[in-house]
Structure 1
Amino acid sequence: SAESIQKSLYFHNLFMLIFLFFLETHGITFRIQISVKELLDTDVLLKLLFHLPVNYPSTLPDISVSSDQLTRAQCVDVKDKLLEQAKKHLSEPMVHDLILWIQQHLKYIIKQSATVCHEKTTLSKGTSTGDDTWMLLLHLDHMRAKAKYVKTVEKWTSDLRLTGRLMFMGKIILILLQGDRSNIKEYLILQKTSKVDVDSSGKKCKEKMISVLCETKVQAQQKRFQTFEVKEYSTLDELQKEFENSGLTALFLEFVPPLLK
């Protein structure tokens, strides 16, 4: 009837207004699952997460890639290739083109990833002295399922070739990471979208109480961590010495003492 059509149009227009408002103020995040055939005679289910920022497509989207059939390193390689392809479509809608492109090229990326895997592993064991090393300092409010949480963080940092510290001092929990900037962004996406902890009732939940204290390029006078370690400190002085020994005194003084207030 005319009345039902009018109601449908009303709700459609209302939905579009809400959608456009959200897009203009927060950007939008959505997941897509695609199945890619003829890769080692198996189907690969790719789970793609796109975050379109407010000024998309003038700004590249953030992309996360996961798959039960691929390793984390292979997923990172797929994500890097997608971002390279996205740069060719800057300032024009690109998500559909990126999906078509990865369906056609996934098997070649995986083959290439396998041939350079050993080389990347060897390089990651050396000292990182490049100018593109980035650093991220995170503050976590709590960990209810501490053992599982720590194990997950260790796996993510290993898969993404990140180094640094997971630091406990009283109620303060800090994660200090160093590595390639794209891998650090990938870590942040995992941290915010994965069910890494449990709530008060014991159910798995996403991390909602996380703060990004600092994200910056590592300076020449600052130490490059060679490994990722989980460490506990008895006093604030011990924690401060950890930062001082890494040339990060200013970082400590700016961000850590305010957490005690």
Structure 2
Amino acid sequence: MGKYSGKNAVITGGGSGMGFAMAKLLVDGGGRVVITGRSQTTLDAARERLGTNAVTVRGDVSALADLDVLADRVRDELGTVHALFVNAGIATLTPFESTTEEVYDELFAVNVKGAYFTVQKLAPLLSDGAGVVLTTSVANVMGIPESSVYAAGKAALRSLARSLSRELLPRGIRVNAVSPGPVDTGILDRAMTEEAAAQFKAQLIADNPMQRFGTPEEIARAASFLAFDATYTTGAELAVDGGATQL
């Protein structure tokens, strides 16, 4: 019997990076997971690595119709959900002066609207006492250049961790947030040029008290703690950032 035997979880953005690490931790511990993502190729690769205890559902969290499909599939595959990891997000970094309306709208549609309605659509399936974990970012408390819209969206998620905690507390459902510092998941390489990404990552390492990136597995363990073990904690944000926001 593994630590997560008999536990069911849903992870948005679970095909790669921190979301995949969360899924692997749970599956390796005997749990069952439904993971989502926008790329079928990425989901197929994740399903191959995770095995039969993982179900994949392709969809865009910013599209409510896709979230309805997800909720129906989760109901069919899992029934009751013990943990919901609201992890799907994008990180488009642009200077304030050149940020476009399209970039602004996409960031808020995925990172904020998507998170809000993910919880709303799946809340009826959450068991009493379930744990919800939102993925925020150290950017919500730090003035990081070229991240104003991204940071504002993550600050909105921090607020949601508090307000949704109150909304769901009558059912004993806890809502918390995990706030990663620099974690090299490849998202920076996709969002920036190779040279810009290398420079940005070097600066992040130099500025971090622990002088390194975190690993997706370290974030996964923290998120799992909030979802399953922190039974007297709700509305909180746990910084997993090498001390970046604390020292």
Q: TM-score, normalised by structure 2?
A: 0.32
Q: TM-score, normalised by structure 1?
A: 0.31
Larger Rg: 1
- Report the structure, 1 or 2, having the larger strand content: 1
- Report the structure, 1 or 2, having the larger helix content: 2
